[in-house]
Structure 1
């Protein structure tokens, strides 16, 4: 079970479920299945991400290529009570926030992009995702979030493969801040915005069938629309970061690349070269340390991390390498990250880059 599939199998099925996972405050960093369905634009919401997995490492990235897109990601703020006293200015607890949010939507409160009836229906859908253990709690406050097991059940309900880019299609819609946690607010507001942006015969309905239809339309869209693929690619980096970190671990990055460029649907390869295979082999040779885990399986630990710049430029390099497998677009004078420069040189030394005249090369499997 390679790459991303092994990671998510381990994460969703081995990590203990938590009733109330905490969300440390993140820092600000810059760095179609149905032809009748009218796709609303992907959400513009961006939030810093958490990925509570083991064996994290630290590192840095490098320079900016000429055509890179960078974003300033908003800081996740805490909602505060209004009022004059010092006590009133303290943040609400997670349960209190959920109760306030739930009551606002039920009582036809702040209604920006979807009517209160739609949000009420979405709240009921979220309630269906809550575990039996949480449903049996004595307190009367609504559950603010669901954990790993319920997230997996939700993905299965939508017929989504969690070991591929399909995962990020769903998480981007529900405004997830981490893998393995979906909040009520993110689920309701995210889907409410999608529904409000749809219309006519292609209107998304606030039910499971409507969600499945929209998600699978976007899954197909990701294979044909470079701008939308960029949206979920960039979002993957956000949910892959630890709170307060500028980079993601290389182990997570490699797993994400293997899922985003899944071979049977969205391969990063050209006529003669398996570029994803070459890229991951290069990273393993340069930074990887192979260890055997408790299950007797080999795992690779990496001695550095992946910056936002390197993550962004890898997508651009992938797109160009699939169009020109001779890599004639690359030169040492350009502002590609240093690691990509090293990769190009490595490919040429290994004979992976095809000769422009005869197209011969070594395909890395």
Structure 2
């Protein structure tokens, strides 16, 4: 019985992976997995079968994506690194510091800034239905809009950015680095609606258009506070909770619950911000 449960868990995991990459139904996933056994082979077969794609996603060519990957990867290496990333950005006609590249990093599961491995490259672009520079450029437009307007997607990209941005072997994110990525993400989310103010009334989190929340000015207050405070960097907990803080805090910081499980850095910032408002220095 234990073996049966283990096999079912592996089967369910394979179906989830197949559907995540291809956008196919669970029924189609089972059909291809039963025939090809291995997830990678089943996915390749799915995309190479012109009759299999029924979701509206274009079937991206593995061979075209391999050719593009080889064009940008480090000579003699296995991955695309900084030089290849710069060349890719030039071909895509996108600034290397454009916020949309954080979406691309999430979609392609980039391990760190300026690096892309082949599996992430193939799985990500195929899931997006792209196998040419032109189709990738079109996808960037869609991703930029989604990042700005979709709260759930914004959070997924935001969470990935912490691991993507920190130096290898480091548990925290350097304060200067964290500020650079906040400076990209927070304004984009505020302007697009992904960071629209929410209120927790009666236990429900709803967008509250009647109450003013976080302002772009407060992002710079946050940076000023962190620089004054000093410290070794930004922890993963602070990074993650800061997003919830931005979404939920009222404009005067009056309804902040000091007894809630906020990181001490955010507790201290609220006291700092309230003192600044009270002094009229805002």
TM-score (norm 1): 0.53
Spell out, residue by residue over 1:9-49, the C-alpha distance to the aligned partner (whole angstroms, 9 max, x if none). Answer: xxxxxxxxxxxxxxxxxxxxxxxxxxxxxxxx997xxxxxx
Matched, 1:189 2:123: yes
Could you tell me how far 1:264 is from its partner in structure 2? 10
Greater helix content: 2
Residue 227 of structure 2 corresponds to residue 284 of structure 1: yes
Match of 1:312 among 232, 236, 240: 240
How far residue 222 of structure 1 moved from its aligned partner, in angstroms, is 1.1
Mark the runs of 5 or more structure 1 residues left unpaired by the alignment.
Answer: 1-40, 44-108, 138-142, 196-204, 288-302, 354-360
Question: Is 1:343 matched with 2:238?
Answer: no
Specify which structure has the bigger relative contact order, considering alpha-carbon pairs within 8 angstroms and separated by 6 or more residues.
1
- In the alignment, is the contact (CA less than 8 A) between 2:214 and 2:246 conserved in 1? no
1:321-365 deviation line (CA, Å, top 9, x unaligned): 3xx202233121111111111001001111279xxxxxxx654xx
**CA shift for structure 1 position 174:** 1.9
Report the alpha carbon displacement of residue 284 of structure 1 after superposing the two structures with TM. 0.9
Q: Relative to 1, partners in 2 of residues 1:222 and 1:273: Cα closer, same or farther, differing over 3 Å?
A: closer
**Residues 149, 189 of structure 2: 8 Å contact kept:** no
2:91 to 134, 157, 160: 157
Counterpart-to-counterpart distance in 1, 2:266 and 2:215: 20
Tell me whether 1:223 sits opposite 2:148 in the alignment.
Answer: yes
Q: Is the 8 A contact 1:260 1:266 kept in 2?
A: no
> Which residue does 2:47 correspond to in 1?
115
For residues 352 and 217 of structure 1, do their structure 2 counterparts lie closer, same or farther at Cα, with a shift above 3 Å needed?
Answer: farther
Aligned to 1:240: 165
CA drift of 1:310 comes to 0.5
CA contact (8 A) 1:248 1:307 kept: yes
The match for 1:125 among 47, 54, 68 is: 68
Give the C-alpha shift of residue 238 in structure 1: 1.2
Q: Tell me the secondary structure at the aligned position of residue 66 of structure 2.
A: helix
Instruction: Give the C-alpha shift of residue 213 in structure 1.
Output: 1.1
Match of residue 131, structure 2, among 206, 218, 222: 206
Q: Is this contact kept in 1: 2:173–2:235, CA < 8 A?
A: yes
Could you tell me how far 1:123 is from its partner in structure 2? 0.5
Q: 1:352, 1:285 → 2: CA distance?
A: 19
Aligned residues: CA RMSD = 3.0
1-structure distance, mates of 2:79, 2:215: 46
SS state of the match for residue 223, structure 1?
A: helix
Are the equivalent residues in 2 in contact too, given 1:164–1:262 (CA < 8 A)?
no
Q: Equivalents in 2 of 1:263, 1:115: separation in Å? A: 34
CA drift of 1:305 comes to: 1.8
